Amino acid sequence: MTFEERRDSLLKQALDIKGNGKIYSSFEREFFSLVETVVIEMLEGEDSFFGQFLVRTERSIRYNITWPLATIPKMQGFKMYFNPLLFLLSDKREMQALFKHEIYHIMYGHHQREKALKNKYTTTAVNLALDISINQFIKNLPMDSYRLERVNLEYGANLKEDCSVEVYAEEIEKAIKAKLKDNKKADKDEIVGELLDISKAHDVWEESNLNDDSIKDMTKKTAIGSYNGKAPKDIEGIIKAYGEKAEISWQDLLKKIIPSLRAGEKKTVMRRNRRQPDRLDIRGTLPNSVPEVIVALDISASMSEQEFSKILVEVLEITRTRTNKITLIECDNEIRRVYEIKSKNDIKKRSFKNGSTKFSPVFKYIRDNNLRNHVVVYFTDGVGEKELEYKPFKKNTIWVLTGDEDLSLNEPYGEIKKIETNAVKGEGGTAGLDMIKEYQQEHGRYF
């Protein structure tokens, strides 16, 4: 029998089983034999990473999921559930694409990120954001899969490629609210059900009781075990980043510079109030010597993806040494984006404006927003102005150079460090943003 004949025969059996509610062992054997055929073809071709990942994944049949596949992190490893009625509607290429879809969810840490998003946005917005963020990388998905174009059309959104899950969720949520506002029906749930076609594809993720660190460790172990030198560039970058370590001891370096800086005052019961020393109920103050950290990223055209991925390894090490949030500024010849990060989950995909390099906009932003007490860590290849238009108030800047050039500034107003990026030349892609998000990141954008 051909593959298509086996599939059609199994689909008829699945319909019968759905009708009488009993799953026969013979059906399970034949079904998973067909699945093995698909996996073996992936193992032997360009999709060998995905095939190897699937070999390390437990499989089971489950009729009550609303998507062909659903994968749950469990104590023993990842478990993939199949709804045969939906899965067998796909041809072989579509089945392979569905497998990739599940593995992309895992590699981009979507099981963890979904937990944070669902507390802020509707289920529809979160599920769509998770899917479209990875479906951009996958060919041959079934026709009913959600892609950017479909979401833009159905929800009246204007989503762009290469954005993070968080950006997509926010924009889709706005589109949903706008659609609800235009509809005059009173019952909100009825409106959502009729107009928005809410996907429940990820509902089973809630059954996992593993914490984020356990899922990350499982992902890392499975991905490294599945990698044999072949993988899409973004996933390859994630896997290779697992072994990357920061070159700079950020804990020691920041400790060295921070005690010389003041960041306002903090209340303490260990000191009496200066103005009212007799009032024991009023706390005194102590200098707060733990200022915030600003990380500035040079995203100019001269910065390669290899350099940027290496930079993000260093940025992640900074997040591990800090208890406070870090402000991240992306700048080429002007500031393109400013946002806060606490962990790799918060890192967004690099924006590509490809301007020239200027350092001054960052220091203007610092001046305009009264951030003079912040420590500034500026990652760049070093080629920019010779003089800053806006001088730092203090010498609290750490310049981290990624290239062979020296820093172009005549006066750096701080310390200069270098990191080696040659070691990662030629290594794939945008791992830093997509997944050193806690990756990913998306796309990204775990280790």
Query: Using one digit for the tens of pLDDT, what is the confidence trace for 108-150?
Result: 999 988 988 988 999 989 999 999 999 999 999 999 899 999 9
Contacts of 191 (CB under 8 A, 6+ apart): 180, 183, 185
pTM over 0.85: no
Task: Outline which parts of the chain fall under CATH 3.40.50.
Answer: 250-434
Span 152-179, average pLDDT:
90
Task: Decide if 365 contacts 295 (C-beta within 8 A).
Answer: no
CATH architecture, domain 250-434: 3-Layer(aba) Sandwich (3.40)
pLDDT of residue 10: 94
Can you read off the two tokens belonging to residue 111?
Answer: 């099981």
Q: Report pLDDT for 249.
A: 80
What pLDDT is stored for residue 335 in this prediction? 93
Residue 393's pLDDT band (cuts 50, 70, 90): confident
Structure token digits, residue 407: 């820093």
Nearest partner of 128 among 107, 86, 103, 157, judged by Cα: 157
| Distance of alpha carbon 387 from alpha carbon 230, whole angstroms | 46
Q: What is the mean pLDDT of residues 198-212?
A: 81
What are the angstrom distances between the C-alpha of 402 and each of 242, 302, 310? 20, 11, 8
**Tokens 């500031």 appear where?**
335
- Span 31-35, average pLDDT: 96
CA dihedral 173, 174, 179, 180 (to 10 degrees): 70
Per-residue pLDDT for 20 more than 50?
yes
Band of the pLDDT at 289, cuts 50, 70, 90?
very low
As a whole number, mean pLDDT of residues 251-270 equals 62
Model confidence at 311, pLDDT cuts 50, 70, 90, reads: confident
Q: Hey, what amino acid is at 196?
A: L
User: What is the identity of the amino acid at 363?
Assistant: F
What is the pLDDT, as a whole number, of residue 350? Answer: 72
Residue 7 in contact with residue 88, Cβ under 8 Å?
yes
Beta strands 58-61 and 77-82, pairing class: parallel
Task: For residue 200, give every residue at least 6 positions away whose Cβ sits within 8 Å of its Cβ, in sequence order, or none.
Answer: 66, 67, 123, 127
The confidence band for 419, taking pLDDT boundaries of 50, 70 and 90, is confident
Look at residue 29 in the predicted model and tell me its pLDDT.
92
pLDDT confidence band for 229 (50 / 70 / 90): confident
Spatial CB neighbours of 148, under 8 Å, sequence gap ≥ 6: 132, 136, 159, 160, 161
Residue type at position 6: R
The residues pairing with 25 across neighbouring beta strands, listed in sequence order, are: none
